[in-house]
Structure 1
Amino acid sequence: MEGRRDRKKRQTGERIRASALELFAQHGYRQTTIAAIAEHADVATRTVTLHFPTKADLLFAGDPFAPESLAARLADRTGDTLDAFGEWLHDTIRDLGEYDEDLGRPPGEMLSLHAMRPALIAEDPDLASRAHVFYSELERVTAESLAQELGTSADGLAPRLTAYTLVGGLRELYRVDEASRDTLPALVDRVLAFARAGLHTLTT
């Protein structure tokens, strides 16, 4: 079980991240200083850098959609890769949308803050480059799981194109006009249906 010290450290880190996202959305990523984030989160500047050594880490470190999280879900799957990927997406989105007792944030607030990331990343070349590496790792993990099911190479067209479709859907979920807290589950299902239809076409 999580000890009191670890829980406090996690709470502080999440408060810093939430403050950073709010300020990034209001003033821009480049224009927001570590000092401003520290003041907004009511911590020392040193505390911010201890939790997040670089400003970019505030957007990427501890991401709930991390490749490690997906890899663990795929390793423990009971159905096929697409089912497990969909469950992982639904569960992660649900957790982001729930009331955060530790931070005292209302339902949906962390999900809304997280949804600001794509626009911030797209506007900054350095962040976009780091995001490319992040999403490429998600694609690799997914393609390897699909290849294991199909009995083929992870570099084959079917695993790679299906993985690209799934991760592309995740990347675009917050950017489409239909996106909202209420519509995200249905959008996830549409991405999965699209990927499954494509996989069927490639393997029959």
Structure 2
Amino acid sequence: MDSRRERKKQQTRRLISEAALKLFAEQGYEQTTVAQIAAAADVATKTFFNHFPSKEDVFFTDNIHYGSKIPIEVIATRGPDETIPDLLARAYEAAIGTYLSDGPGLDDPDMVAAYMSLIRSVPALQAKALHKAHEVQREVATALLAAYPDELDPISAAALVGSVAGAAQAASLAALERGEGQEKMWEAMRRAIDIALHGLPKS
């Protein structure tokens, strides 16, 4: 697929995703239909299903890109003397940094707040988020194992990636539950990743 066609595909996916989120925020997730989302995005219902298997999937347009593809690309550039914690820290920092520079919806705080609220309150979205998180962790763990075949086995690779991802997720939720803003949430995630990889700082 040429780059122009791929960009067009990504633009359409983003348009549908943003239209869906607006409708979910305005009238509720359960009350919003795929036909309404397609109409709001000015695409055919068939086009919606060409890009998303279900209504839940519009919430996770970019998660695989930022969650696994970027870390995997970084892991593939492992330096000869780079330690596992240092490489994982670099991989997840790249994912966070890239998302903050060009991630979807960051220029609309109300939409970000609506997204977070829906994820926390809709069981179907929580289940999908958990499923996507497991997919991402498995892919990153596979890449890490390939980078350190003499130091890791499948269990240790999965445990390392799971501990980092779980720490970041728990910290971000804790920050949101405290009513802290997006900046504090990202700070909490970075701190959690550092704790997962290196332990608590010595006092």
RMSD across aligned positions (CA): 3.4
Equivalent of 2:131 in 107, 118, 133: 133
Report if the CA contact (8 A) 1:86-1:188 is conserved. Answer: no
Q: Is the 8 A contact 1:162 1:198 kept in 2?
A: no
- Using structure 2 for the length normalisation, give the TM-score: 0.72
1:153 equivalent in alignment to 2:153:
yes
Q: For 2:110 and 2:195, how far apart are their aligned partners in 1?
A: 25
Aligned residue in 2 for 1:32: 32
* Normalised TM-score (structure 1): 0.71
SS of the aligned residue for 1:131 comes to helix
2:23 corresponds to 1:23: yes
Query: C-alpha distance in 1, partners of 2:19/2:70?
Result: 24
- Equivalent runs, 1:45-60 vs 2, <5 Å: 45-60=45-60
Deviation of 1:95 (Å): 1.7
Letter in 2 for 1:2: S
Equivalent residue number for residue 76 of structure 1? 77
Contact 1:74 1:85 in 2 (8 A): no
Structure 2, unaligned stretches of length 5 or more?
none
Q: Give the Cα separation in 2 of the matches to 1:162 and 1:87.
A: 18
Q: State the shift of 1:195 in Å.
A: 1.2
Match of 2:3?
Answer: 2
Identity fraction in percent: 28
Superposed CA offset, 1:65-112 (max 9, x none): 343343233223445222222222222232217xxxxxxx7x622x76
Do 2:167 and 2:196's aligned partners in 1 also have CA atoms closer than 8 Å? no
CA shift, 1:116, in A, is: 4.0
- Give 5+ residue unaligned stretches, structure 1: 98-104
Tell whether the 8 Å contact from 1:90 to 1:188 is kept in structure 2 after alignment. Answer: no
